[in-house]
Structure 1
């Protein structure tokens, strides 16, 4: 039996007695994110962030080797017009903006490689822990598009020079140590068990702080980004046009066949 990769996957949420809400996503194709999962993930982040019992949010994925492989290649190949392209890439905009506007601090838990949109998701968290296996790559240029939607989040976190390095050297992974040195990751751990212990301890610490102070502090962190509501959609339109080009079609097909 074959799996429909456009409808596979899930988003799950649990909240413990301390008010620590854990949002977990999964997709069998290396935690890639088709439109349905992007929409569900954005909605879940917004909903959980508005719940009074939530003190802090942990954002994570399932599995061991890959945190998030970014866009679904099957869905990219299925895009037939600019409207569909805009709608798909706007999904990443929705997730990033949901993280940005969420009233609660979001802790990222990155256990493996982050690729393309996955780097953007990690960058949209407020404080991110990772393992030493959590290498990063913005691979969009390899397949004929660019990291337009996730770019503002990544650039905000690591700076314009490092963002340009990632965006242009699109075929190469940068090690987790490189990402930590530039501020994407706050701390690195050798094992997933050590990572989970650190994430939990930090979440418990935040859950004991004044929630109003945390909300106000998060708003300060994200000052100057209110225009992202329109900026990221505009950037999605660029990717939505580029994905229709013959160059991109052939590049994606070649990438998939490797």
Structure 2
């Protein structure tokens, strides 16, 4: 384990591939980790032994805190901004185009890009601690890259609520009601038991049928390769604003 975080990939005898990521700063996702996560998802999708994928993070109360503020403040021009936010685009598109069903295990808070990662998977299990928040507009950016994935999962109305009420968390139960989470459990142990049982069940199904079903799930998103890069360009420009830089500097002084 290093300060830059890690991504790990394992496969069990039943054909369940597990992708686990970690970063010491609340599982935030700096650029290098985003690239590694996207490539690992793509690799798992082409692995002959993998029948279903479980995406999870380490730690207890934060699934993913989204973008790394240290990297955001270091962005100096639009090109660097586009490159950074394209990392989230690559993760979402890797989930979208992966031929295997992806189950996400959300043990704690999902913030900003973390909500996008959860929304980009095919089936979510969560605990009662897995509240959600799209904080981007408060930072001066806006949830442009993750927006299509979140809106697809919970609808425009709920996405608008999250996007505009950017300083408040919505509960895991709210996220379940809106369709982001399939099930919410009181404890991590209960959630993990459900994840294991469901992943093993899916792994026993016809892989060709699952692949075809996933294509149906994601029908109409074929243009996302271009759309999400365009959205990354919007965020990459806004991150250079005085508003955003002042906000991040002020936030970092408090922590």
Question: Normalising to structure 2: TM-score of the pair?
Answer: 0.98
Looking at structure 1, the residues matched to 157 and 252 of structure 2 have their Cα atoms a distance apart, in angstroms, of 30
Provide, for residues 102-127 of structure 1, a one-character-per-residue CA deviation record: whole Å limited to 9, x for no partner.
Answer: 00000000000000000000000000
For structure 1, which runs of at least 5 residues remain unmatched after alignment? Answer: none
Contact 1:99 1:125 (8 Å CA) reproduced: yes
| Aligned partner of residue 25 in structure 1, secondary structure | strand
Q: Which residue of 2 aligns with 1:33?
A: 29
Shift of 1:254: 1.5
| Aligned partner of residue 171 in structure 1, secondary structure | coil
> Quick one: which of 209, 230, 234 aligns to 2:230?
234
| Aligned partner of residue 211 in structure 2, secondary structure | helix
Looking at structure 2, the residues matched to 244 and 4 of structure 1 have their Cα atoms a distance apart, in angstroms, of 28
- Runs of 4+, deviation exceeding 4 Å: none
Question: Normalising to structure 1: TM-score of the pair?
Answer: 0.97
Q: Which residue of 1 aligns with 2:81?
A: 85
RMSD: 1.0
Provide, for residues 167-208 of structure 1, a one-character-per-residue CA deviation record: whole Å limited to 9, x for no partner.
Answer: 000000000000000000000001111110000000000000
247-256 or 158-167, which moves further after superposition? 247-256
Looking at structure 1, the residues matched to 86 and 53 of structure 2 have their Cα atoms a distance apart, in angstroms, of 23
Looking at structure 1, the residues matched to 169 and 55 of structure 2 have their Cα atoms a distance apart, in angstroms, of 22
Superposed counterparts of 1:168-247, under 5 Å: 168-247=164-243
Looking at structure 1, the residues matched to 46 and 155 of structure 2 have their Cα atoms a distance apart, in angstroms, of 30
Contact 1:20 1:54 (8 Å CA) reproduced: yes
Shift of 1:142: 1.1
| Aligned partner of residue 257 in structure 1, secondary structure | helix
Provide, for residues 25-68 of structure 1, a one-character-per-residue CA deviation record: whole Å limited to 9, x for no partner.
Answer: 00000000000000000000001111111000000000001000
Q: Which residue of 2 aligns with 1:151?
A: 147
